A and B are shown apart, each in its own frame.
Chain A
Amino acid sequence: MTDEMASSESMGLGKSRIFTPEVINDIHVKADLGRYRMRGGGIFKKIPHWDELVFLPGTLTRFVIEGYREKCTTKTVLGSRFAKNPLVLDIPIYITGMSFGALSLEAKMALAKGASMAGTATCSGEGGMIPPERDFSTKWYYQVIQSRYGFNPHHLMLADAVEFFIGQGCKVGMGGHLMGQKVTEQVAEMRSLPAGIDQRSPARHPDWLGPDDLSLKIQEVREATDYQVPIQLKLGASRVYDDVRMAAKCGPDVIFLDGAEGGTGAGPHIATEETGIPLLAAIPEARRALEDVGLADEIDLVVAGGIRNGGDVAKCIALGADAIAIGSAALMALGSNKEVEGADYQGTFGVSAAEFYHWHTGKDPAGITTQDPELRKRLDVDEGATRVYNFLHTLTLEVQMLARACGKTDVHSLEPEDLAALTTEASAMARVPLAGTSYIPGVTESQTLEEIKTLLAKHVANDGGGSDV
C-alpha cells in the first residue's frame, strides 16, 4: 500500500515519456478548442539534420585553396534547359516564396532589397505580386500556386522565373493557411476573398490534377511566357525518388525540393510535425531519380528547408543541389525572434523571443509576420535590407570557406565525397560514409551482395563447366 500511496518524490516510480507535461497540456487545449492547433515556424521534434554531417577538407591527399586570395566562384545559373533567359544569380542562395499577407509589406520590401544587394532572387509567394517588391527585386520568381490568389498574367510577364508550387516541406499535401487576424481589407482584396476569414488555400491546383495534365500546364505557361523564363516545380519532400522522376518527365527547367525542416507562416502543428522527410535524405534520392531518367545534367535542383548557416548550404551543394532557398533564416536576419523596444514576448505569447513561433497570430513584435500598422512601423526597410544582405553575404563566405578547404575553386564543385556522417542514420540517409569508416548502411550491404552474386556466378560457371575429372 505504501508504494502506491508514496507521498514523497523519492518514492515515485518515474514520469511518462509518452504523456509528457506538454502532451497533456496539448490534450487539455484541444479538449477546450475542438479543433487542431495552428502555429508558425518549422518542425519541433528532433530529426536527423545537417549537424550530423561533417566535411573532409584537403590535407595531403587534396590540396586546399587560399581564402581571400584564390578565386572560388559562386555564380549560379538556373533553368538553362529551355528558357531563353535562365536565372543568373551571383550566389547559390536566394529567398524563397513567402506571401504578402503572411509577411508585412515592409518585410517583403526589405527581403527584396536585401536579396538584390546580394545579387540574388526573391519569390512572390502566394498572395500575388506587390509592386514595391517587384520594383526592389532584380531577380524575381512568380508563383503559380494552388489558390491562384491574385494571379495576373500581366505580372506573369514581369517574372524572371515561374515557380509552380505543388507542395512545401513543412506541411506536405496541404495548401497555405492565413488566419483571419492577418486577412486585412488589402490582403483580402488582393486575394478576392472576404476580409477577416480564416483562409485555407486549396491543396490541389484548380486546372490540373496529375502529371499528365501538369506537363500540359507547363506547356501553357511556357507558351504564355514565350519560353523566356525558367519553369520551376516546387515539391514537398515525400516519396522523393518517384515524385522527382515524375516531375522531371513533366518537362520543367528546375525542380525545387523542400525538406520537412521548412517553416510556414501558419500551419497545423500536427502537419508541421508529422509530414515529409528531412532534406539530407531527400537530396540523394532526387539526384538518383534525375540520373535514372537521364536528365541530371539538364534539370537544376534547388533545395530548401531549415537552412541556418553556410555549413548547411555547403552540405546541400555537396549532396547535389544547385541552389538553396532560405525562408525562416531570412526572417530571422530581418529581425524576427529578436528583442525589440516595446515588445513583451513573455507577457503576450508566454515564450521568450528566441522561442517565439506565433507568426500565425499576426502580432509579431518585430513587425515582420504581421499586418498591424503599429507593429509594422518597427521594421525599417533599409536597415532590414542591409541585415538580409549581410546574412546572405555571410552565408556565401561560409560556403566559400568550406569549398576552398575542400580544394574547390567553384562552390558547385563540392561533392558527396567531401562529406562524412556522424551517425548511422545520417549516413544511411545522406549516403555518405560513417566518419572514420567506408561504411554506408544499405549501400555497403548491397555492394557486398552484388560481389557475392558475381563470385557465385563465376564459381558456378567454373564448376559446372562439364568437368568430368
Chain B
Amino acid sequence: MVAMNPPTDQETRGRNDIRGLAEPDAEAPKVARVEGGTATFDAADLSPRLVNLELRRLIYAEGIREVRIENPGAKHSIAVGLLARCRITINGSLGYFGATLGDGPEIHITGRVGWSVAENMMSGVVVIDKNAGSLTGAAMRGGDLVVRGHVGARTGIDQKGGTIVVGGNAGSMTGFMMQRGRQIICGDVGPGMGDSMYDGEIYVGGTVAALGVDCIEAEMTPEDEELLDRKLGIYRIDRPDTFRKFVCGKQLYNYDNLEPSERKLVL
C-alpha cells in the first residue's frame, strides 16, 4: 500500500510500523460536507485511518445515517467494525478487508473489492457492483452479501450464516468448511466446491467443475425456489432458469463412524 501522508521524521522514530500502516495518533479530518442528512467526503488524500475516523465521527458522534465516499482508491480496511444502522455508498473500488466486522450497515460499493470483503459481517447488506477477490464473505455470520460480478476462490470460507449472492462465476473451493448460511451462485463454480462443509446450502445456476470432499447434491424444494426468487428479486439479478442445490454429506462428522472403505475420503 502507498502511504497517503508520508510520515515525518518525528513519526518514523518509534510511532510507526515498518509498512507504515499504523497511525495511532491520527484524528478525524472533519472534511465531510453535510447536506440534507447525507454526508459526502473525498477519500483521495486520506489514509484508511483517516477515512475510518471520519466515518466513525459522522455515524457515531454526528448521528448521520447516510454517507457517501468518493475516490476510495482501493484502500484497505475501509468501513470496518461499524455497529450501527446506516447507509454508506462507496463510489469506486476497495482493497482488502472492505466493509468487514459490521453489524447493521448497508454498504454499496460501485466498483470492485479485494480479498475478504464483508469478513465476519453480523447483519446488514453489502452490495458490490463489479467483481470481488478471494475469501469473499469469510466467516460471515449474517446479512446479505451481493456481488454482481464474479468472485475468486474460497467464497464463504467458514461461513456461519447469512446469504452470499453472486451474479457471475465463483472460483475454486467455494464454500470451503462452510458451517451455516446460504450461497447463491448464478454462474459456474470451480473445483472443490463445498469441500468439508458442515452445513448450509449452496445453490448453483451454472456448472460445477467438481465437488469437494463430503459435498453432495440434494433435491430442490419449493421453499428453495421461493428463497431464490426472493433474494434475486430484491437485488434485481437475472435468475437462471434452473438451480441445483448442494449440501453436506455428513460423512466427516465423527472420527469413528467411517466404514473402512470410506476412510480414504479424508486423505
Contact = CB atoms under 8 A, between A and B. Distances in A.
B21 A216 contact: yes
A216 B76 contact: yes
A192 B22 contact: no
A248 to B, nearest CB: 8
A195 to B, nearest CB: 10
Contacts of B122: 152-154
B81 A249 contact: no
A340 B49 CA distance: 54
B179 interface: yes
Contact of B22 (A35, A148, A207, A219): A219
B99 to A, nearest CB: 11
A385 B52 CA distance: 41
Interface in A213-236: 213, 215-227
A213 B76 CA distance: 10
A248 B22 CA distance: 13
A227 B24 contact: yes
Interface stretch (B32-40, B113-121, B182-190, B233-241): B113-121
A84 B116 contact: no
A179 B101 CA distance: 29
A251 B23 CA distance: 11
Given A153-B122, A197-B198, A206 B135 contact: yes
A151 interface: yes
A147 interface: yes
A193 interface: yes
Give the most central of A154, A206, A222: most B CB within 10 Å. A206
B76 A207 contact: no
Chain A residues touching B, range? 35 or more
B109 to A, nearest CB: 16
B21 A251 contact: yes
Contact of B97 (A147, A192, A217): A217
Contact of A197 (B49, B141, B254): B254
A207 B119 contact: yes
A192 B160 contact: yes
B243 interface: no
Interface in B106-161: 115-116, 119-120, 122, 135, 138-139, 141, 154, 157-158, 160-161
A202 interface: yes
A219 B21 contact: yes
B119 A298 contact: no
Contacts of B135: 206-208
B22 A180 contact: no
B76 A219 contact: yes
B199 interface: yes
Interface in B69-123: 76-77, 80-81, 83, 95-97, 100-103, 115-116, 119-120, 122
B177 interface: yes
A198 interface: yes
Contact of A220 (B80, B141, B180, B254): B80
Given A192-B179, A207-B138, A226 B56 contact: yes
A197 B14 CA distance: 48
B48 interface: yes
Contacts of A215: 17, 19, 21
A180 B198 CA distance: 14
23 contacts: A34-B258, A34-B263, A84-B24, A147-B158, A156-B81, A191-B179, A193-B179, A196-B254, A197-B198, A197-B253, A206-B138, A206-B139, A208-B116, A215-B17, A215-B21, A219-B76, A220-B76, A223-B49, A223-B81, A224-B81, A226-B56, A227-B24, A249-B19
Interface of B: 1, 14-15, 17-19, 21-24, 48-49, 52, 56, 76-77, 80-81, 83, 95-97, 100-103, 115-116, 119-120, 122, 135, 138-139, 141, 154, 157-158, 160-161, 177, 179-180, 198-199, 253-256, 258, 260, 263
Interface of A: 33-35, 38, 82-84, 147-148, 151-154, 156-157, 179-180, 191-194, 196-198, 202, 206-208, 213, 215-227, 248-249, 251, 293, 298
Closest 7 CB pairs of A and B: A224-B81, A251-B17, A207-B116, A206-B138, A192-B160, A148-B139, A207-B138
Given A153-B101, A202-B158, A216-B96, 18 more contacts: A33-B256, A34-B260, A156-B101, A157-B81, A192-B160, A206-B154, A207-B116, A207-B138, A208-B116, A213-B96, A215-B17, A216-B77, A217-B97, A219-B21, A220-B100, A226-B56, A227-B22, A298-B14
